[in-house]
């Protein structure tokens, strides 16, 4: 009985440490600067993000993730919604990571100040296929098209 509790506790502690280690590792990578001179050793690819609110395109800012000379692994160069992704092999970034970089909340029922409880619907498709839940966990992939449609229901 006691042994069982100890084993469970040890397992839980290891799980928490493993989770924190991976989270920290990702945060450290996200905070690092990447090179842009063609000598980069990490993967470098692009996903296309489009956000529409009631049929109007929402402008995605240029230079997200670029602070002075430091270009962070998730960034934009212009307002086309092309998300540049650079990371070491074996690691991936999600749509949630990209919103985190901007300090914008992304959840299934919320994007920034827009919340479904206030009468909006948020629909997300990846390459035309609807994503039902877990928007923040969508893995960014090369040439992937992510479309977010926000609709005001109260009219």
Judged by beta carbon, residue 81 or residue 111, the one nearer Zn ion is 81
The interface region with Zn ion, picked from 9-17, 83-91, 100-108, 126-134 by CB under 5 A, is 83-91
C-beta of 43 vs 53, nearer to Zn ion: 43
> Smallest distance from the beta carbon of 44 to Zn ion, in angstroms?
6
Size of the site for Zn ion (CB under 5 A): 1
Q: How far is the CB of 46 from Zn ion (least distance, A)?
A: 6
Q: What is the CA radius of gyration of the chain?
A: 19
- Phi and psi torsions of 56, nearest 5°: -100, 135
60 CA to centre of own chain: 14
Instruction: Please report which helix (H) or strand (E) contains residue 145, including its range.
Output: strand 145-152
Residue 142 CA to residue 123 CA, distance in Å, equals 21
The smaller minimum CB distance to Zn ion, of residues 39 and 130, is found at 39
DSSP 29: H
| Nearer CB in complex with Zn ion: 60/122 | 60
Q: Given candidates 84, 122, 147, 148, which one binds Zn ion under the rule CB under 5 A?
A: 84
Nearest alpha carbon to residue 115 among 123, 107, 124: 107
Q: Choose the stretch contacting Zn ion; rule: CB under 5 A; options: 14-22, 47-55, 84-92, 105-113.
A: 84-92
Please report how close the Cβ of residue 45 comes to Zn ion at its closest, in angstroms. Answer: 7
Enter the tokens of residue 43: 């993967």
| Nearest Cα residue to 73 out of 23, 22, 19, 35 | 35
Residue 87 binds Zn ion (CB under 5 A): no
Contacting positions for Zn ion (CB under 5 A): 84
């Amino acid at each position: 009985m006691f042994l069982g509790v100890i084993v469970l506790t040890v397992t839980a502690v290891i799980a928490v440490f493993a989770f924190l280690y991976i989270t920290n590792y990702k945060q450290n990578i996200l905070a690092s600067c990447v090179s842009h001179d063609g000598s980069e050793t990490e993967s470098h690819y692009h996903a296309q993000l489009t956000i529409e609110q009631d049929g109007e395109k929402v402008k995605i800012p240029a230079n997200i993730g670029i602070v002075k000379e430091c270009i962070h692994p998730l960034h934009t160069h212009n307002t086309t919604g092309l998300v540049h992704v650079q990371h070491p092999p074996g690691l991936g970034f999600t749509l949630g990571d990209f919103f985190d970089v901007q300090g914008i909340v992304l959840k299934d029922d919320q994007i920034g100040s827009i919340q479904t409880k206030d009468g909006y619907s948020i629909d997300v498709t990846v390459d035309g296929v609807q994503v039902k839940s877990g928007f923040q966990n969508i893995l960014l992939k090369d040439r992937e098209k992510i479309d977010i449609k926000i609709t005001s229901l109260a009219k």
